[in-house]
A and B are shown apart, each in its own frame.
Chain A
Amino acid sequence: MSTHRHTISVLVNNQPGVLQRVAGLFGRRGFNIESITVGESEEHGLSRMVIVTTGSERTLEQISKQLYKLIDVIKVVDLSAGPMVAREVALIKVNAEPAARPEILGVVETFRASVVDIGASTMIVQAIGDTDKIDAIVELLKPYGIRELSRTGVTAMTRGLGRA
């Protein structure tokens, strides 16, 4: 059975331990987590988790069913089943001696990223986009020497009126 990347939105009660319940479920059932992000949702008391996972359609069905068994899980939606917007934020601290800065700024501009800090010999680049775009800018900045990299993981929602 073919394996795909899926982006799942999970609406949960904002209770202590709920992240542990969800992440623990993935761990012990052998489901993969590529990234997991959590934050408040539009409704007070509920949080939204966006989980990127890989697996067959059957695995995805099991993930959804097993998630629904958790009492604190209100709703599970496979965002990647339809058109969606998926974004992550990366902060990339890159070596940037004054001579190298124009070149680096060229990369930053091309990706419509921004520079959010400049030190004596470093810069912090902030990039926002889908996973492929972040991967690409990281790849292009590597030759200058990346000192630190911090990525948020994917957050996402369906386009148009579709709700998750």
Chain B
Amino acid sequence: MSAQTTAVLDEDLRSRLLKPDVITGSEILLRSLLLEGVDCVFGYPGGAVLYIYDAMHGNKDFNHLLTRHEQGAIHAADGYARSTGKVGVCIATSGPGATNLVTGIATAYMDSVPLVVITGNVATTAIGTDAFQEADITGITMPITKHSYLVRNVEDLPRIIHEAFHIANTGRKGPVLIDIPKDISAQKTRFEWKEEVNIRGYNPTVQPNKLQVERLVKAIEEAERPVILAGGGVVYAGAHEQLLELVNKARIPVTTTLLGLGGFPSGHELWMGMPGMHGTFTANTALQNCDLLISIGARFDDRVTMAVKGFAPKAKIAHIDVDPAEIGKTVPTAIPCVGDVKAVLELVNEKVKPAKSAAWIDQVQTWKEEKPLRYKDSDTELKPQYVIEMIHEATKGEAIVTTDVGQHQMWAAQYYRFNHPRSWITSGGLGTMGFGFPSAIGAQMGNPDRLVVSINGDGGMQMCSQELAICAIHNIPVKIVVINNQVLGMVRQWQEIIYDNRYSHIDLAGSPDFVKLAEAYGVKGLRATNKEEARKAWQEAMNTPGPVLIDFVVRKGENVFPMVTQGNTIDQMIMGDEE
């Protein structure tokens, strides 16, 4: 059965939906989405999906949000999925509508986010003729989808939609694309819905091999300097409680990757912060000195390992992952553990005994005290780190935070402290600018009662700023933060440190006045250029019920530290000017 529960539907609606009426492909699509428990769809109509939108006319069973660009729709669906754990759904027309989704599909694929992406296509009779607005979207997206379908018979539609939801949200999650030709969406057939899914080539390993688990338990017991590297898989599997139990039982220090933030409470004494390129001194030093490294739902991304050859040189590596292809892909693994992270940890927790880690934990605590994350504050200029810390304090770490990509993303990862899973939404694998703001709209749709803060750079904000319209029209109360340093900050940092201060094409002069931009769309805009204004503006934003954009004008030349440059091992950190 699909990972999305259908039990939430009330029985009347469900029996109405299941009636074996003769209906069009478009009506089949809408009924099937409802049967999958979909309550919110993000989309943009066009010629090839007109039958689908016609069927949606007057529909009150789920929300449809008309974004201003297909990229906004798919990032919103992504933010919805990451923040709720449900499958995100978006709809676009054929050709340019479909190709505008490509960046968002790749973003979701790299970060294992469950999406069902519906695209229209030209009629089956026109496919292959270079017809108006025709694009081979299943071909274009083959490398960036978990699976894709081009629907050729309307009778297949209910099965395909059900399979798509199942594939998207089981095993290693990911985006699934369904391309529906226009004539298929118009053709009629008898609607038949089958609950069971049977896909011969798809049986993800959920329950782990017991011998593998026993080897892991034994390795933990013998370890003197163990470290856990927890990734996004912990969050996606809903295994945060099991991870906490393991850490408390076995006494193992934890580092959480960029996507793993929130999978372990940042206030815990054994949390070391984030590893890798902009990781903490403690996490990176511990990784390089540990004798047992347990990767849990993390895939040894090169931003974590940096120079792979010198990564964790003293460690025996254990790797827990639902995707067997991740094991041994980047680093040689001594103890593989294939299975759903939650299922594996439950088994480990039944048997695990404490590691011999007391002295190691003392060492880790010393590093934490000696070299915490810090920055030089200023009374004359507004520091971006200060802004993040201020938002963290004001929200008590309870907000859902989405970010774009760049320096502000790293500062948010470093200085906002997460205590809950699914509270941190960021494009890790693909590093997609333009992701932060629309993903916040999706997160807010999925979590109407929570505070959603979208932290963006002045570069990325301009890549999807048109979605301010959606916030204004529907009064979606996202608090939109712009960390405005007037440059492409991370590129500037690389040009300063690696390219010998040769600043090439990074000046964002000519950016709009963000306050006026917000106001032009009907969103309240505020600006802050020093600490006092920053606190005042934030307070005002909090007191405003709807969406607010705050333009924090920060110091231009600020850099993200620590930093490991490419080719170096993670203990070769530039600690920067924070001391």
Chain A residues with a Cβ under 8 A of chain B: 12-13, 16-17, 20-21, 24, 28, 58, 61-62, 65-66, 68-74
Q: Say whether B325 contacts A74, CB under 8 Å.
A: no
Instruction: Using known A-B contacts A65-B324, A69-B323, determine if residue A74 contacts B139 with beta carbons closer than 8 Å.
Output: no
- Chain A residue, CB-CB nearest to B148: A17
Residues 310-326 of B, flagged 1 when their CB comes within 8 A of A and 0 if not, give 00000000000001110
**Stretch of B81-89, B196-204, B237-245 at the chain-chain interface:** B196-204
Question: What separation, in Å, do the CA atoms of A14 and B138 have in the docked complex?
Answer: 17
Q: Which of B201, B323, B324, B328 touches A72 (beta carbons < 8 Å)?
A: B201
Chain B residues with a Cβ under 8 A of chain A: 138-139, 142-143, 146-147, 150, 167, 172, 199-202, 323-325, 327-329
**Which chain A positions have C-beta within 8 A of B147?**
70-71
Q: Say whether B329 contacts A62, CB under 8 Å.
A: yes
Q: Which of A17, A28, A61, A74 touches B201 (beta carbons < 8 Å)?
A: A74
Question: What separation, in Å, do the CA atoms of A133 and B195 have in the docked complex?
Answer: 54
Query: A151: shortest Cβ distance to chain B, in Å?
Result: 27
Query: B105: shortest Cβ distance to chain A, in Å?
Result: 15
Q: Say whether B199 contacts A61, CB under 8 Å.
A: no
**Which chain B positions have C-beta within 8 A of A73?**
201
4 closest Cβ contacts across the A-B interface? A65-B325, A71-B147, A74-B201, A71-B202
- Chain B residue, CB-CB nearest to A11: B201
Please report whether the interface of chain A is mostly helix, strand, loop or mixed according to DSSP. Answer: helix
Q: Which of A12, A16, A68, A72 touches B325 (beta carbons < 8 Å)?
A: A68
Q: Which of B150, B199, B325 touches A62 (beta carbons < 8 Å)?
A: B325
**Which chain A positions have C-beta within 8 A of B323?**
69
Q: Which of A12, A17, A24 touches B143 (beta carbons < 8 Å)?
A: A24
Q: Say whether A13 contacts B201, CB under 8 Å.
A: yes
Question: What separation, in Å, do the CA atoms of A16 and B323 have in the docked complex?
Answer: 26
Question: What separation, in Å, do the CA atoms of A74 and B200 have in the docked complex?
Answer: 7
**Which chain A positions have C-beta within 8 A of B202?**
71
Query: A52: shortest Cβ distance to chain B, in Å?
Result: 21
**Which chain A positions have C-beta within 8 A of B328?**
58, 61-62
**Which chain B positions have C-beta within 8 A of A68?**
324-325
Question: What separation, in Å, do the CA atoms of A108 and B142 have in the docked complex?
Answer: 45
Instruction: Using known A-B contacts A61-B328, A62-B328, determine if residue A21 contacts B142 with beta carbons closer than 8 Å.
Output: yes
Query: B182: shortest Cβ distance to chain A, in Å?
Result: 19
Question: What separation, in Å, do the CA atoms of A72 and B201 have in the docked complex?
Answer: 6
**Which chain B positions have C-beta within 8 A of A65?**
324-325, 327, 329
Most buried by B among A13, A17, A71, A73: A71
Q: Say whether B143 contacts A70, CB under 8 Å.
A: no
Question: What separation, in Å, do the CA atoms of A41 and B479 have in the docked complex?
Answer: 58
**Which chain B positions have C-beta within 8 A of A61?**
328
Instruction: Using known A-B contacts A71-B199, A71-B201, determine if residue A20 contacts B325 with beta carbons closer than 8 Å.
Output: no
Query: B263: shortest Cβ distance to chain A, in Å?
Result: 24
Instruction: Using known A-B contacts A17-B139, A24-B142, determine if residue A69 contacts B325 with beta carbons closer than 8 Å.
Output: yes
Most buried by B among A13, A28, A65: A65
**Which chain B positions have C-beta within 8 A of A72?**
201
Instruction: Using known A-B contacts A24-B143, A71-B147, A71-B199, determine if residue A17 contacts B167 with beta carbons closer than 8 Å.
Output: no
**Which chain A positions have C-beta within 8 A of B138?**
17
Question: What separation, in Å, do the CA atoms of A62 and B542 have in the docked complex?
Answer: 50
Query: A14: shortest Cβ distance to chain B, in Å?
Result: 12
**Which chain B positions have C-beta within 8 A of A62?**
325, 328-329
- Other A-B contacts than A58-B328, A72-B201, 4 sampled, CB-CB below 8 A, are A69-B172, A71-B147, A74-B200, A74-B201
Query: B319: shortest Cβ distance to chain A, in Å?
Result: 13
Most buried by A among B138, B146, B200, B323: B200
Question: What separation, in Å, do the CA atoms of A74 and B147 have in the docked complex?
Answer: 14
Question: What separation, in Å, do the CA atoms of A13 and B199 have in the docked complex?
Answer: 11
- Chain A residue, CB-CB nearest to B163: A71
- Chain B residue, CB-CB nearest to A63: B325
Q: Say whether B139 contacts A20, CB under 8 Å.
A: yes
- Chain A residue, CB-CB nearest to B201: A74
**Which chain A positions have C-beta within 8 A of B167?**
71
- Chain B residue, CB-CB nearest to A58: B328
Q: Say whether A66 contacts B325, CB under 8 Å.
A: yes
Question: What separation, in Å, do the CA atoms of A74 and B138 have in the docked complex?
Answer: 21
- Chain A residue, CB-CB nearest to B139: A20
Can you list 10 pairs linking A and B with CB atoms under 8 Å apart? Answer: A17-B150, A24-B143, A28-B143, A65-B324, A65-B325, A68-B325, A69-B323, A70-B201, A71-B167, A73-B201
Query: B159: shortest Cβ distance to chain A, in Å?
Result: 13
Query: B109: shortest Cβ distance to chain A, in Å?
Result: 12
Question: What separation, in Å, do the CA atoms of A62 and B328 have in the docked complex?
Answer: 8
Question: What separation, in Å, do the CA atoms of A72 and B167 have in the docked complex?
Answer: 12
- Chain A residue, CB-CB nearest to B142: A24
Question: What separation, in Å, do the CA atoms of A28 and B199 have in the docked complex?
Answer: 25
Question: What separation, in Å, do the CA atoms of A38 and B146 have in the docked complex?
Answer: 23
Question: What separation, in Å, do the CA atoms of A21 and B144 have in the docked complex?
Answer: 11
**Which chain B positions have C-beta within 8 A of A69?**
172, 323, 325
**Which chain A positions have C-beta within 8 A of B200?**
13, 74
Question: What separation, in Å, do the CA atoms of A12 and B200 have in the docked complex?
Answer: 10
Question: What separation, in Å, do the CA atoms of A58 and B355 have in the docked complex?
Answer: 32
Question: What separation, in Å, do the CA atoms of A65 and B321 have in the docked complex?
Answer: 13
Q: Say whether B150 contacts A16, CB under 8 Å.
A: yes
Query: A135: shortest Cβ distance to chain B, in Å?
Result: 34
Question: What separation, in Å, do the CA atoms of A28 and B327 have in the docked complex?
Answer: 19
Question: What separation, in Å, do the CA atoms of A133 and B172 have in the docked complex?
Answer: 44
Question: What separation, in Å, do the CA atoms of A61 and B146 have in the docked complex?
Answer: 20
**Which chain A positions have C-beta within 8 A of B201?**
12-13, 70-74
- Chain A residue, CB-CB nearest to B176: A71
- Chain B residue, CB-CB nearest to A17: B138
Question: What separation, in Å, do the CA atoms of A37 and B139 have in the docked complex?
Answer: 21
Question: What separation, in Å, do the CA atoms of A65 and B172 have in the docked complex?
Answer: 13
Question: What separation, in Å, do the CA atoms of A77 and B252 have in the docked complex?
Answer: 40
**Which chain A positions have C-beta within 8 A of B327?**
65
Query: B143: shortest Cβ distance to chain A, in Å?
Result: 5
Question: What separation, in Å, do the CA atoms of A91 and B254 have in the docked complex?
Answer: 63
Question: What separation, in Å, do the CA atoms of A61 and B328 have in the docked complex?
Answer: 9
Query: A33: shortest Cβ distance to chain B, in Å?
Result: 16
**Which chain A positions have C-beta within 8 A of B146?**
71
**Which chain A positions have C-beta within 8 A of B329?**
62, 65
Query: B198: shortest Cβ distance to chain A, in Å?
Result: 12
Question: What separation, in Å, do the CA atoms of A12 and B201 have in the docked complex?
Answer: 8
Query: B227: shortest Cβ distance to chain A, in Å?
Result: 25
**Which chain B positions have C-beta within 8 A of A74?**
200-201
Query: A72: shortest Cβ distance to chain B, in Å?
Result: 6
Question: What separation, in Å, do the CA atoms of A58 and B325 have in the docked complex?
Answer: 11
Question: What separation, in Å, do the CA atoms of A72 and B139 have in the docked complex?
Answer: 15
